[in-house]
Structure formats: structure tokens, C-alpha cells
Amino acid sequence: MKPQVLKGFRDYAPEEMMARQLMLDKVRAVFESFGYMPLHTPALEYSEILLGKYGDEGEKLLYRFLDNGGRDVALRYDLTVPLARFVGMNPTMRWPFRRYQIAPVWRAERPQRGRFREFYQCDADLIGIDSPQADAECILIDCGVMAALEMEEFTIQINHRGYLDGLLEAQGIGPTQVVPVMRVLDKVDKVSRDSMREMLAQLGLGSGQVDVLAALGDITGDHAARLRGGLELAAGSDKARLAVERLEQVLALVEASAADAPVQFAPSVARGLDYYTGIVYETFLPARYGVGSVMSGGRYNNLLGSMANREIPAVGISLGIDRLLSALASSEGGQTATVTRVMVCTMAGNEIDAARVAARLRQELPAGGNGVELYPTDDKIKKQFDYANKRGIGFVVMVGAEEAAQKKVALKNFETGEQVVVSEDELATRIIGSQPA
């Protein structure tokens, strides 16, 4: 039997997993700093819960099977539908309900670079309130996550489902054309103005309609100018006007909270048409990262109610951590990360002293990044050093018989090469005082 992983799945080796876990910890800290609480839902759900939520294309990607008891079950496809199921099962829930969930989801997509069949989603959702504050909060969480992940350049593009709806209505574009038109508009940053006009014309739009929609790409300037420009294009549509007013309120709240938030009204952003009912947003990194939106979401006021028999507005944001990690790894390269600060060598005849010194160090060094390894056998010292070096461990401690009798040890700093003999009592202090390797 050949040991192998399934196509589209992958292991994260320790160094990769460290980087990933560090990221997830930061994301979680941001979610919690806004008062979001963790929720766990199972990996498996009744298929019935998931069906009819993701469209035909999405449903084909479900890992769906009969369990040993003959139940029709499926691995979760996202974290939003299980959330809807949870809300539906808890009818006495109070609003606002803020929850986050960081967990894998499974989709049997065709594997390709940076896309896997198992990947993590990091979702934060504010449920039960439809307000500009709730919308703005998701944008602020987005900014907070990007800052925590030290992404210095990014842009959050926001739009409102009602704006596009209103604009298309005002242009006399009928319901059957809405989805294909929005798909074309979503490409505004990716194709030339001419190809966009061509694609719109191919959908049967008249040249007046094409002129107006193509002009979405010309809207520039500060918030006020962009919103005004958008409003002019959709002149006469109450729906579009209300959407622009809402975006104005959201932008004012975002600005009051984070004056430098790189957020921008982008009237052609469409994303997830079937799903969203209000604001939508996407987060873009500079082109060199070669990925699309890394964090996105929006308001969805109808989904939760469908499983709860009452109206439940909601707004949320989701980070694709695997996509982001793969972008960062390919643009910046990996680095050796370790949890271990110090390794204590084991030498024949002095096993007990080595174990004692390692245990004491573990007590005395502060938590977090200060792991202490005892080399678990009396290999040649060169082999032990070699191991420490490859693992990126900063300090090595040797407890010789002679030193142990005087409660002393030899401490070697792998960064500087310096080696000193110190008393066991001052060992931890010496290590804390040195620069981390």
C-alpha cells in the first residue's frame, strides 16, 4: 500500500502549520475584539439542510453519501448554512447575535493551483440587526484582520445590491438579463472597456444601455464624488438612491472609526447575487500576490429566516485563509518557525540531571515561543547540535557531570556561537535576557 493523500487534499507540515496557526490566532483575536463569540457546528449535516442553497453547480461539489444508518448526509460546504440551521434550532436567541467560526469546509472542485477540496473559512456574522452600524462593523473587522496580518496595502471595494438592481431597472434591463449583466460588470477591473462594451452588446443591450453601464468604470474621486457619480448614472431610481444613502451612512461610520480605512465605493462589484440583499464587499491585495478577493461578504437578510420561520437580517464577512497563505508563501517565501527556544542535550550518565534542568527551564521561562526540548537519547553531541541547528533552535544547554555537581551548565547561543558556563539558578534569566535567535 502506497501512502498518499487524496487528490485536492494536502497535509500542512509543522513549519507551514505554524505560520497558518499564527494567522488563525490573529484572525480570532480580531473577531473577539469586536465581541464575536465562537460557535462550533459538526462537519456532517443532513443533506436536506444543505440542498437548494448553493445552486446546481455548487450542489454537484457536495461530498454527499449515505451513512451506516442509511441517512443522506453531506460534509459542510460553507459555514453560513450550518449557522442558519443553528439559528433555526434556537428560536429564543436574542439579537444582536455575533458569532465567528473558523473551520474547514469541503468542496469537490477540480483541483488547481491554490485551490483545495478541503479549506478553512473564517467567518464572522452579526445576526438579527439591519443597520448601517452592523454593515460598517464588517468593514472594520476586515481592516482589523488585514492590519493584524500585516498586509500593508489592500483595498476594500464596497457596493450595495440595491444600487445595481436599481440601476438596471432604471435602464429597463429585465430580470432575466440581470445575472448575466452583473457577471460582465464584475469583470470591470479585468478586461478592457472595449471588450466590456462588446460583451454587454452580445447580451442584447442597446448602445444607450451599454454607455451607461460602461460608465460605471469611469467613476472616480473621493467617497462623495463616487457616490454622486453613481447616483447620477442611476438617476430616477429610488432603490438606487436608498442604497447610496445607506452606503453614505456606512462610509461615515467607517471613517469615524478608522480614518485611514482603504475603502471605496465600487459600483460594479456584484458578487453572490442570489444570496445578498444589501451591502457587499471584497478585499483586494496588490496585483503581485496574484489572487482575487481574500476577504469578502455582505448583507443577507433572507437566508436565516428560511430555516426559522421569521425574518432574520444578517451581515457577515469571510476570510479565505488558504488562499491568502498560498499567496503570501509564493510571493515572500517560507521561513523556519519553531516553538522551541532551548534544547537540553542528553549525555550518557547524566540523563537525570539533563531531565531536571529541562523541567526547571520549562517552569521558569515565560509561556509562548519558549518551548524547551530535552534531546531524548544520548546520541553523539554533534548529531544533537545538528538537529538543533536544522530545527532553528536558538540555545543549547549541556549538563556535564562535573558542571552538574556544582549546579552549573554550559549554555550555547546558536546565533552568536558564544558559549558560557552559568549556574542553574541564572540559566533562565540568561536566556530571557539574550536576543531571540
Considering the complex, state which of residue 13 and residue 405 has its C-beta at the smaller distance from a copy of itself.
13
Applying the rule CB under 8 A, the residues between 292 and 311 that interact with a copy of itself are 307-308
Nearer to a copy of itself, 149 or 219 (CB): 149
Task: Output the smallest distance, CB 13 to a copy of itself, in A.
Answer: 7
Residues within window 167-186 making contact with a copy of itself, judged by CB under 8 A: none
How far is it, in rounded angstroms, from Cα 113 to Cα 119? 13
Cell 478541503, located at residue: 118
Q: Does 43 bind a copy of itself (CB under 8 A)?
A: yes
Q: Give the x/- contact pattern for a copy of itself in 304-343, rule: CB under 8 A.
A: ---xx-----------------------------xxx--x
- C-alpha cell belonging to residue 194: 472595449
Asked if 315 and 279 touch (Cβ cutoff 8 Å), the reply is yes
- Helix (H) or strand (E) run with residue 103 in it: strand 97-106
Ranges within 87-146 binding a copy of itself (CB under 8 A): 88-90, 94, 96, 98-99, 104, 106, 108, 118, 126, 129, 131-134, 136-137, 140, 144
Only one of the segments 84-92, 155-163, 280-288, 395-403 lies at the binding site for a copy of itself (rule: CB under 8 A); that segment is 84-92
Q: How far apart are CA 359 and CA 345, in angstroms?
A: 13
403 vs 349: CA distance, rounded Å: 13
Chosen residue from 55, 60, 225, 423 binding a copy of itself by CB under 8 A: 60
Cβ atoms of 184 and 318 within 8 Å: the answer is no
**Residues in Cβ contact with 32 at an 8 Å cutoff, skipping those fewer than 6 apart:** 100
Q: Which of 58, 63, 178, 305 binds a copy of itself (CB under 8 A)?
A: 63
Tally of CB atoms within 10 A around 320: 22
The CB-of-6 to a copy of itself minimum distance in angstroms stands at 6
Of 5 and 287, the one with the shorter C-beta distance to a copy of itself is 5
Distance of CA 276 to the CA centre of its chain: 20
Residue closest to 170 by CA, chosen among 227, 241, 226: 241
* Residue 224 contacts a copy of itself per CB under 8 A: no
Max Cα–Cα distance, the chain, nearest Å:
93
Residue span binding a copy of itself (CB under 8 A) among the ranges 9-17, 205-213, 214-222, 394-402: 9-17
Cα angle: 40, vertex 46, 50; to 5 degrees: 80
What residues numbered 230-289 form the site for a copy of itself, per CB under 8 A? 252-253, 256-258
Query: Would you give the binding string for a copy of itself spanning residues 383-422, x where CB under 8 A is met?
Result: ----x--x--------------------------------
Tell me whether residue 207 or residue 336 sits nearer to a copy of itself (CB atom): 336
CB 322 within 8 A of CB 295: no
Nearer to a copy of itself, 272 or 369 (CB): 369
Closer residue to a copy of itself (CB): 122 or 168 = 122
CA–CA gap between residue 411 and residue 418 (Å, rounded): 8
348 burial level (CB within 10 Å; 0-12, 13-18, 19+) = exposed
Position 432 contacts a copy of itself (CB under 8 A): no
Distances in whole angstroms, Cα of residue 384 to Cα of each of 41, 190, 355, 396, 403: 44, 54, 15, 9, 19
What is the nearest approach in angstroms of a copy of itself to the Cβ of residue 178?
Answer: 28
CA dihedral (33, 36, 42, 46) in degrees, to 10, reads -150
Q: Does 44 bind a copy of itself (CB under 8 A)?
A: yes
Residue type, 27: V
Rounded least distance, CB 144 to a copy of itself, Å: 8
- Binder of a copy of itself out of 57, 68, 175, 190 (CB under 8 A): 68
Q: How many Cβ atoms sit within 10 Å of the Cβ of residue 272?
A: 12
Shortest distance, position 352 Cβ to a copy of itself, whole Å:
5
Binding mask 360-379 for a copy of itself (x = CB under 8 A): --x----xx-xxxxxxxx--
| Shortest distance in whole angstroms from residue 339 CB to a copy of itself | 4
Helix (H, G, I), strand (E, B) or coil at 11: coil
Closer Cβ to a copy of itself, 33 or 331, answer by number: 33
